[in-house]
Amino acid sequence: MATHSYTSALMKDFEQRGLVHEVSAGLDARLSNNPAVSGYIGFDPSSDSLHVGHLLGILALRRLQLHGGRPVALVGGGTGMIGDPSGRSSERNLLDAPTLERNRAAIGGQLAQLIDFEGANGALLLDNLAWLGEAGLIDFLRDTGKHLTVGYMLAKDSVKSRLDAGLSFTEFSYMLLQSYDFLMLRRLHGVELQMGGSDQWGNITAGTELIRRVDGDGGEAQLAFGLCYPLLLAKNGEKFGKTAEGAVWLDTNRTSPFAFWQFWLDQDDHAVPQLLRQLTLESDELTTERLAVHAANPSLRNAQRHLAKTMTTLVHGSEVENQAATVAAVLFGTEGGAAASPRSLDPAALSMLTAELPSELAPQAADATLIDLVVAAGFAPSKSEARRLIEQGGISVNGEGAADPTTSASHFAPLANGSLLLRKGRRDYRVLRAR
């Protein structure tokens, strides 16, 4: 990776972490002169939750704050009615105002948990509907639209990539509206910097150009700056945070904390160095040490475990992260060790465990045996097959081996929530619920 002689702490940090894709000339000098710059990132309220792909931007705002700047999170209640064509192959469905407001409120709540809104450089949470909703069409076209030519906008990759597939005027106008956001944020809140993923560079530079033309003195003085970081991509080339089941959400109702924790544990070895550097706040030296420990015995997945711990704590808190880690220890074992007993789980962790697994009703018959439990769990289609599984040592109940098919079901003391945890083989679990 090419290196630059950056002098500001923020730009040194971003470069060391591989977070500099494009940057405006003059930003490093501006930050070196005074690091107290206000910078913003926009968040699209097309859903009622952010997902893990947004964490790179959120942490960029946190890094800005740690280096003395003021982060501004802009939830696009206005532009959300239009839709950004950047990085998309088709036009999104437009949402109505009540849906956008619900989404904006939900996203705002998530951001408030992830960015510090207190103190002298506490973050701001803003909605561009405040000015876009009041902008008259004629005034907007006359005072703003005239400063960016059609040719200038057509030259941007976010527009060019969509021309053949079809681009409505609605989406075409998005660049101008985002540029206007930057202009208004500078005027109202002194924002000088816009950050975003690499697919946003065209929109960002359009904003800096609009500010220069509208608020400048006719010269080439730099009044605003842009900084783009590389997009996080999965190994299949898609944007990071997508799985076969869909996006990995920050909302616990859409992605459970355990599934969130497991997502990070499942990352490939080749991806972990980048993820640790770009999605944690620890120093590069400490990350290098962690990776060296991991490389000595990759099967222990120490780097992935640390990543899972760090990201789950960031989003859901340390208590929930500890619950997820203890559930994982029950299901998959500790670092190279045996699985933990489900009886070691506190009620919250036990609830998390049982919520993650398929469940069936336990048999009611007073004379039910282990064979009946295995059949009820769906591990065997018949009692004879259940007997074979048990005699081969393939069944455990509540973490303990069960080898006698005739053992009474009542012999197995239920867990604290009244359920039984059955395992077939190494990783196939079922919960039997009390009726």
Same domain, 95 and 55: yes
Same domain, 80 and 163: yes
Same domain, 340 and 363: no
Distance CA 128, CA 178 (A): 9
Q: What CATH number does the domain containing 221 carry?
A: 3.40.50.620
Number of domains in the chain: 3
DSSP code for 367 = T
Q: Which of 284, 315, 344 is the last residue in one of the domains?
A: 344
Task: Please provide the DSSP assignment of 300-314 as one string.
Answer: G-HHHHHHHHHHHHH
Same domain, 313 and 412: no
Class of residue 342 by CB neighbours under 10 A (exposed 0-12, middle 13-18, buried 19+): buried
pLDDT-flagged residues of the chain (< 70): 1-3, 80-94, 158, 161-166, 170, 218, 242-245, 335-338
Supply the pLDDT for residue 316: 96
Same domain, 282 and 141: no
Same domain, 222 and 286: no
Supply the pLDDT for residue 240: 81
Supply the pLDDT for residue 135: 80
CB 232 within 8 A of CB 239: yes
**Global pTM?**
0.87
Number of residues in the chain: 435
Same domain, 295 and 394: no
Same domain, 47 and 123: yes
CB 223 within 8 A of CB 211: yes
Distance CA 397, CA 93 (A): 49
From its phi and psi, is residue 106 left (phi > 0), alpha (psi between -120 and 50) or beta? alpha
Determine, yes or no, domain membership for 100: yes
Determine, yes or no, domain membership for 204: yes
Same domain, 132 and 215: yes
Same domain, 275 and 422: no
Supply the pLDDT for residue 76: 79
Strand 359-361 and strand 428-433: pairing? parallel
Supply the pLDDT for residue 7: 96
Tell me the H-state helices in 126-239: 129-132, 137-143, 150-154, 157-163, 169-172, 174-189, 201-215
CB 226 within 8 A of CB 208: yes
Supply the pLDDT for residue 211: 94
What element of type H or E holds 396? Answer: strand 395-397
Q: What CATH number does the domain containing 423 carry?
A: 3.10.290.10
Supply the pLDDT for residue 18: 95
Same domain, 116 and 148: yes
What element of type H or E holds 361? Answer: strand 359-361
**Domain coverage including residue 402:** 359-433
Determine, yes or no, domain membership for 418: yes
Residue whose structure tokens are 């997820």: 324
